[in-house]
Amino acid sequence: MTRVILDTDLAMGAPGSDIDDGFALALAHAEPLIELDMITTVNGNTDVESATLLSLELAERLGCGEVPIYRGAGAPLTRPDRFCGAPADTVAAFGHHEPKPGYAAVEITRHILANPGDITLVPIGPLTNVAAALSLDHRLATSVREIVVMGGIFLGQTHATGMPGEFNIWKDPEAAEAVLHSGAPLRFVGLDVTLQVRLTRAHAGEMAAAGGAFGEFAGSYTTGWIDHQAARHPDDPLQADSCAMHDPLAVAVVAHPEFVTWRDARVDVVTGDGPARGVMVTDLLTSVDAPPPNCQIATAVDAEAFMSYFLDTIAQL
């Protein structure tokens, strides 16, 4: 059994928003080899207030409302001016929920230091909370069991000048830099593998038809997200019928690391607002004078095995 803190920018429940964070939370709850100790929220796919309210709503639907949820950073580390609040309709629909008092970075630090070597931190949004926690107490880097990050692209590019780095890293590259330099044990699950694991319209329709507090809700919002992506990327046939399960794969490898192939690497990140913001600079350590590794990266995935596991596990909810 692995005890987990899930750090998320969850947006499932907001029309036209990404839905894989919601499936990641559902998978963390349903996986028998994971004990979900805490959920923390961060600005990313949506504002942090919305992420908090939607996490509380989804946890209640999943039947894990007893798991403490703490609100985290509302803006990137070096850009507090980018804070924004939740839309009025989100507050109206979900504002009856209240997170636990306190701040995510503080609670992450407190919980890991109280349980040294026992807690795996799984950030599936920007790394703002994680960087802040690592800065609060240097012992965190050696007390956390490991940090399994959904983020980055290491063997290729995004091929998008508007977002040259993968979203979670691009959103707060300064936070990613701090985490990479922390000395904590790190595993990265990036776009090199997550783009290969995809949920289809047919899957979403089956979930919605099956009913249940989660299935109907998740199936409906998945169809909406695929529609949104198809409209934004009309020349990409893959986006017309499916969406990537980025965050669920990061959760899955905590319990089932065999789904992906791992490789030691030395990784740094381009910070600032230039044309390479968020790009991961990756050394695969093939030379005799290679630098020491600072993380492991996922380089390949058994997509069929993961999707079979994912659909079977989610169907139990």
Tens of pLDDT, residues 45-98: 999 999 999 999 999 999 999 999 999 999 999 999 999 888 888 888 788 999
**Cα–Cα dist 172/155, whole Å:** 20
CB 30 within 8 A of CB 317: yes
Does any domain span residue 214?
Answer: no
Amino acid at 199: L
In terms of Cα–Cα distance, which of 45, 47, 33 is closest to 1? 33
How high is the pLDDT of residue 15? 76
Does any domain span residue 226?
Answer: no
Amino acid at 205: G
**Ranges of the chain with pLDDT below 50:** none
How many other CB atoms are there within 10 angstroms of residue 290's CB atom? 13
Amino acid at 2: T
How high is the pLDDT of residue 124? 98
**Cα–Cα dist 279/250, whole Å:** 20
Within 8 A by CB and 6+ apart from 24, the residues are 6, 8, 124, 150, 247, 248, 250, 251
**Cα–Cα dist 169/271, whole Å:** 9
- List pLDDT tens digits, range 141-178: 999 999 999 999 999 999 999 999 999 999 999 999 99
Within 8 A by CB and 6+ apart from 20, the residues are 243, 244, 245, 246, 247, 248
Both tokens of 143, joined, read 């007390």
How many structural domains is the chain composed of? 1
Structural domain boundaries enclosing 8: 2-197+245-314
**Cα–Cα dist 157/236, whole Å:** 16
Q: Half-sphere exposure of 164 toward its Cβ, with a 13 Å CA cutoff?
A: 15
Does any domain span residue 60?
Answer: yes
Does any domain span residue 37?
Answer: yes
Give the CATH number for residue 108: 3.90.245.10
Does any domain span residue 220?
Answer: no
Task: Note the pTM of the prediction, 2 decimals.
Answer: 0.97
Inter-CA distances, 232 with 16, 117, 192, Å: 11, 43, 21
CA 31 from centre of chain: 16
Degrees, nearest 5: CA angle 74-126-269: 130
Does any domain span residue 305?
Answer: yes
CA 297 from centre of chain: 15
How high is the pLDDT of residue 239? 87
- Please give the radius of gyration of the chain, using alpha carbons only, rounded to the nearest integer: 18
Does any domain span residue 301?
Answer: yes
CB 20 within 8 A of CB 248: yes
How high is the pLDDT of residue 108? 98
In terms of Cα–Cα distance, which of 38, 124, 125, 135 is closest to 76? 125
CA 20 from centre of chain: 8
